[in-house]
Amino acid sequence: EVQLVESGGGLIQPGGSLRLSCAASGFTVSSNYMSWVRQAPGKGLEWVSVIYSGGSTYYADSVKGRFTISRDNSKNTLYLQMNSLRAEDTAVYYCARGHSSGWYEDWGQGTLVTVSS
């Protein structure tokens, strides 16, 4: 059974940093493309970043230069390093496993990041 478990969210001051983790089981992270998708309170879904099986990474313009996606194959875990956080980064962050044709087959339960002073 595929399972994705996010952790690392919390309350952080503007300008601070957080690292989110997504522990995967039931499949191999490095063999799939993995994304982070966020959802601000009461709002819709926004794609944040993707890492492909080959290692290529892409970012939404809103986080480019501030966020870094990575994975640890030995731990079968996906990460999102978030620096220079802003109030508008406040959201539930989901990790999601992508099918090769792009849809998201599996989602974690999400971790809430709140950026506030």
* Contact status, residue 2 vs residue 39, Cβ threshold 8 Å: no
List the Cα angle 78/105/75 in 5-degree steps.
Answer: 20
Ranges within 43-102 binding other proteins (CB under 8 A): 44-47, 50, 58, 60, 94, 98-99, 101-102
Considering the complex, state which of residue 79 and residue 94 has its C-beta at the smaller distance from other proteins.
94
* 73 burial type by CB count under 10 A (0-12 exposed, 13-18 middle, 19+ buried): exposed
Smallest gap, in angstroms, from Cβ of residue 16 to other proteins? Answer: 25
Residue numbers at the binding site for other proteins (CB under 8 A): 35, 44-47, 50, 58, 60, 94, 98-99, 101-105, 107-110
